[in-house]
Chain A
Amino acid sequence: MFIDLLLHPLSYEFMARGMIAAVLVGIVCAVIGTYVVLRGMAFFGDALAHTILPGIALGYLISGGARDTLFWWALGTAVLAALGIGAISRNAEIKEDTSIGVIFAGMFALGIALISTVKSYAVDLTHFLFGDVLSVSSHSLWLILIFGGFVLLMVFAFYKEFMTLSFDPVLAATLRLPVGLLNNILLALIAVTVAVSLQTVGVALMVAMLVTPAATAYLLTNRLSTMMLLAALFASLAGVIGLYLSFYLSIASGAAIVLTATVFFMLAFGWKKISGRS
């Protein structure tokens, strides 16, 4: 009976594909999200996701509504936006969060304005804002696998450099690591992750995928590598459980995934409080 409940949704192809997409995206977001959490970049991640909306909107208008090419528009805009925001935050004229806030809201508004020129405005906007993991095509799945795999490979290859840079930038500089280059690589990797995840959770909930599983893992371990593994585990679980909830309770898939991840966080937080007291 319980097995049936688990297997029945998977007999739909879109559910099986959505499940794979949610798990893959969850893992990639969680692993790169470890650095987002440790470096206090949650606002940057949120801003980045919103800033790419005009890029997607433009691609959407040019391609006349085809969704398969949108990934490339998202990817291009995200990398540009990440490096642009990175350059802004190195410029000390205005406080970093203020300048990011100005740019991100402005770009977001531009995106909405562009999309609002289309007749099916409300539906399309909803799709971009909240994603729809159940409409992931097998073509998109391949893109997620390739680009997500690339992000994971880079995080693995530069593990010791990113760890040192995040823990102590001055030490990284005295070890003569290429600090500026590594920073930009990390920003670009976050951008690729955002582009890869767009269809699953959309613009509005992206920051939760980056931050929540990693923050949950942060509460439970003292090792960076363990934090990455735990975060990936929580994100995958949230993807699977969230999609079942979405299927049986008829709630939006992105929201269901994020809510599940949030429950994990609250459980970990409560457990930490209780165990810390004894």
Chain B
Amino acid sequence: MYPHTHHQPDQPILDVSHLTVRYNGRAALEDVTFHLHVGERVAIVGPNGAGKSTLIKAVAGVLPPTSGEVKVFGSMPGRHVCIGYIPQRSQVDWNFPVTVADVVMMGRFAKLGPLNWPRKRDWDAVRRALETVDLADLASRQIGQLSGGQQQRMFIARALAQEAELMLMDEPLTGLDTPSQEGILSLLDRLKRENVTVMVATHDLDQAATHFDRIMLLNHRLVAFGPPADVLHTDNLLKAYGGRLKPVDGQTVLSVDSCCDEGEHDHVH
């Protein structure tokens, strides 16, 4: 077996303190401190380049902090296999010759260890995960043949097969149509019932406000972190997004010009 760390149950699932990450001297994250409770759903919101992906990778234990620390159940994330990482769809080679079931099976490889081949209980876990995300019929499709929403659900199934307790999703909703987004969000509700802790980077302030327990406003620094009603104030949004908040029809409208690949505009009232 590859070395893995056991959990200290009295510790929070995620404890980030004074986390700073620099690339070539430029700070992507600066002195970020927060912690999460088991089963929470947290949306990470902020402008492009605010460090959302960096935070996710640092929490996943694949990007070493420049200073500060990340602890998962009381120890460094680098040895935990309970962290499910769900990449941005644009970062995946969709022509890679693997089927949906192959990709979901990858989630089992940590606990399987070297020189072991998948056994029946691994295939069972893959099948159950695919049924949960409603993809059992497409198990033997090549991954490039899936729609955007199906691709995202496949990665959630992979994290389920991994038996992840902390799922990190890097913009799972970006570029999906509304029904696909609803599908992902209802899966998040289901994960909540199973006590899976979820951190989602997103652009959509409306969805962040309606579907998540807490919102983290990020712009290199932690601007605000708390329940949506407490966080989504003009002051905070101005701090996170800069001077692009303008009054329209007597209401405050946040107009974000550069945050989305599609050039969409997100509004919050």
A interface vs B, CB < 8 Å?
38, 157-158, 160-161, 163-164, 166-168, 170-171, 173-178, 218, 221-224, 226-227
Chain B contacts for A170, CB-based, 8 A: 57, 60, 62, 85, 87
B10 within 8 A of A: no
Give 15 new A-B contacts, CB below 8 A, not counting A38-B96, A176-B4. Answer: A157-B115, A160-B112, A161-B114, A168-B87, A168-B92, A168-B106, A174-B84, A174-B85, A176-B2, A176-B3, A177-B2, A177-B110, A222-B142, A223-B98, A226-B97
B109 touches A161 (CB 8 A): yes
- The smallest C-beta distance from B143 to any residue of chain A, in angstroms, reads 9
- Among A160, A164, A227, contact of B97 (Cβ-Cβ < 8 Å): A227
- The smallest C-beta distance from B172 to any residue of chain A, in angstroms, reads 15
CA distance A221 to B144 in the complex (A): 13
CA distance A153 to B110 in the complex (A): 21
Pairs A–B under 8 Å by Cβ, sample size 22: A38-B93, A158-B114, A160-B118, A164-B109, A167-B96, A168-B92, A170-B62, A171-B106, A173-B62, A174-B83, A175-B106, A175-B107, A175-B162, A176-B80, A176-B81, A177-B2, A177-B109, A222-B98, A223-B98, A223-B99, A224-B96, A227-B97
Chain A contacts for B158, CB-based, 8 A: 171
B60 touches A174 (CB 8 A): yes
A174 touches B106 (CB 8 A): no
- Among B106, B110, B115, B118, contact of A176 (Cβ-Cβ < 8 Å): B110
B interface vs A, CB < 8 Å?
2-4, 57, 60-62, 78-81, 83-85, 87, 92-93, 96-99, 102-103, 106-107, 109-110, 112, 114-115, 117-118, 142, 158, 162
- The smallest C-beta distance from A189 to any residue of chain B, in angstroms, reads 16
B98 touches A163 (CB 8 A): yes
CA distance A164 to B118 in the complex (A): 14
CB nearest neighbor in A for B57: A170
- Residue with the highest number of chain B CB atoms closer than 10 Å, among A157, A168, A170, A171: A171
Chain B contacts for A176, CB-based, 8 A: 2-4, 78-81, 110
CA distance A223 to B80 in the complex (A): 30
Chain B contacts for A222, CB-based, 8 A: 97-99, 142
Chain A contacts for B114, CB-based, 8 A: 157-158, 161
Chain A contacts for B106, CB-based, 8 A: 160, 163-164, 167-168, 171, 175
B110 touches A224 (CB 8 A): no
- The smallest C-beta distance from A127 to any residue of chain B, in angstroms, reads 37
CA distance A223 to B101 in the complex (A): 11
Chain A contacts for B85, CB-based, 8 A: 170-171, 174
CA distance A38 to B92 in the complex (A): 12
CB nearest neighbor in B for A160: B109
CB nearest neighbor in B for A166: B96
CB nearest neighbor in B for A179: B62
CA distance A227 to B99 in the complex (A): 13
Chain A contacts for B102, CB-based, 8 A: 163, 223-224
